[in-house]
Structure 1
Amino acid sequence: MSDTADTGSKPRGGVVCVIPARYASRRYPGKPLAMLRGATGEARSLIQRSWQAAQSVAGLDAVYVATDDDRIAEAARGFGAEVLMTSSDARNGTERCAEALEILGDVEMVVNLQGDAPLTPHWFLEELASGLRADSQAALATPILRCDGDTLAALKADRAAGRVGGTTAVADSKRRALYFSKEVVPFTAEAYAPEADTPVFHHVGVYAYRPWALRAYPHWPVGPLEMLEGLEQLRFLEAGHPVLCVEVEARGSKFWELNNPEDIPRIEAMMAEMGTV
């Protein structure tokens, strides 16, 4: 692993945001460099839009793009991002964040803003950090967003078409995660109005880790649930470490992750509706 960064100053004791990005995705190669048009018609890469989303988050001491790919690194430096060069051994974004933590040293908290979530509102990350500080037992925290009828219908349509779309989450009464799945859980046969609340929660692929948990993560075995679902956060549950689910509200914002090329028109339509440049 190359432990190089563009910055000579490394924050100590602060909250840092790491945006992990890899080029060699099996489902969508080159996804971080996919272009998305905003409300004005200007096209910017997915990784740039994710980085811009992080710039609006209060309480972050630094924001980095972590990648093993020179094409992504060059693009990130081109729009002003600080880059951490990590190895090609990282199997997911959490492992890449663990490598970034090795480079950065002592910090209070690492926030992982996945590079496929350019519509993530700033308050999702702010409430996530507050939630983790308030729960001393949790190894990490992650946001969940209650689906309205429209979002639930979109999730079900993806699965019916054989696409792996968004992830859903179920939690206990203390908002500790019970399970995450690429299937739509819990099952409900009820029909919901487009703007009506449903019992299904959309998992937002953002994480705030305690440093000890992030350092330990790459050394835990990949369990059968993580392997079957392809969801990195399940490793914490399979290792017996609590995951705090922080319920967030959209406040009128639209949210969707870019998982497949078919998601681009959907996200562009959302940006146009919200006036995102």
Structure 2
Amino acid sequence: MGKVLGVIPARYGSTRFPGKVLAKIGTYPMIRYVYEAAKQAKGLDHLVIATDDERVREAVEAFGGECLMTSEEHKSGTDRLAEVAEYYKDYDILVNIQGDEPGIEPELIDGVARMKIENPDWEMTTAARPFKPGEDPLQPNRVKVVMTRSGRALYFSRSLIPFPRNKVDRPVYLHLGIYAYQRDFLMRFHTLPASGLEDAESLEQLRALENDHSIGVFITEASLPGVDTPEDLAAITGIFKSKGLLR
């Protein structure tokens, strides 16, 4: 079994919420909550935060986290992850943990890593959960996924899938933005032929599917929302306060 590296990409320049990884939730920056949750995952052999900004590096090192400076030119978290892999060559599986999900559960990280280890022929694994009552699956920023019986992804979409032409007792699954990659696949991901599906939906993972690679989907029941906007930050702060997680 190969060694597993957890990587938290933490880009400072978010389009909708610049500097959000350093936004405070209580007295801690958001990235600290992500790091401390990921440190509790039993399936990671090592954990590092990858950033492009000295302000993030300083904040991470101030709370005792390990931080690697990476290029400012990366267009995606996958590109940043591939640069990290160049520095950490003795890890066979790399888990991309979103830096804007302060409520991520260690069990979710372990589940995605374990699924990748148990299915070495699947180049990637990710996660999903059923939509909850009151959540709107029609929102295009909430990505949906459908899977085979064995848990391999069939398709990801911003549209509602499956389309409910007939009423069936089947949940709609919300895709969660965590990925585990086989190292050699990660290093050649950017060389895959261009994907019309990826361009149409603006979903990078569709490039893997369109080029006949497999993505396993770990199903979880509980997951706190990520942070895309200041309004999301206020919402997660309220949730943390109600659960006694605010630091």
Confirm or deny a common fold (TM above 0.5).
yes
2:229 corresponding residue in structure 1:
260
Determine what percentage of the aligned residue pairs are the same residue. Answer: 36
1:96 CA displacement: 0.7
Residue identity opposite 2:179 in structure 1: Y
* 2:43–2:114 Cα contact (<8 Å) kept: no
> How many residues are matched?
244
For the pair 1:22 / 2:6, whether they are aligned, the reply is no
| Cα drift, residue 207 of structure 1 | 0.9
| Counterpart position of 2:30 | 46
Match of 1:211 among 183, 191, 203: 183
Which residue pairs with 1:9 in the alignment? none
Distance in 1 (CA, whole Å) between partners of 2:165 and 2:62 is 48
Structure-2-length-normalised TM-score? 0.90
Residue 145 to residue 89, structure 1, CA distance change in 2 (3 Å):
same
Alpha-carbon offset, residue 25 of structure 1: 2.2
Query: Does 1:146 find its partner at 2:130?
Result: yes
In structure 2, the residue corresponding to 1:236 is in which secondary structure? helix
Q: Which TM-score applies when normalising by structure 1?
A: 0.81
CA contact 2:8–2:97 (8 Å) conserved in 1: yes
| Residue matched to 2:92 | 108
Structure 1 match to 2:207: 235
Tell me the amino acid that sits aligned with residue 205 of structure 2. Q
Match of 2:220 among 238, 248, 255: 248
**d(CA) in 1 for partners of 2:107, 2:39:** 12
Q: Is the 8 A contact 1:171 1:179 kept in 2?
A: yes
For residues 171-201 of structure 1, the C-alpha deviation after alignment (integer angstroms, 9 at most, x for no partner) is: 122221122223343344999xxxxx96111
Deviations 1:2-46 (A, max 9, x none): xxxxxxxxxxx521100011122223222212222xxxxx33222
Give the 4+ runs in structure 1 shifted more than 6 A: none
Which stretch shifts more, 62-71 or 23-32? 23-32
2:21 counterpart residue number: 32
What amino acid is aligned across from residue 200 of structure 1 in structure 2?
Answer: V
Change over 3 Å in CA distance of 1:185–1:274 after alignment to 2? farther
- Gapped regions of structure 1 (runs ≥ 5): 1-12, 37-41, 192-196
Query: Unaligned stretches of 5+ in structure 2?
Result: none
How big is the shift at 1:82? 0.7
**1:115 positional shift:** 0.5
Counterpart of 1:80? 64
SS at match of 1:149: coil
Structure 2 CA distance, aligned partners of 1:138 and 1:234? 15
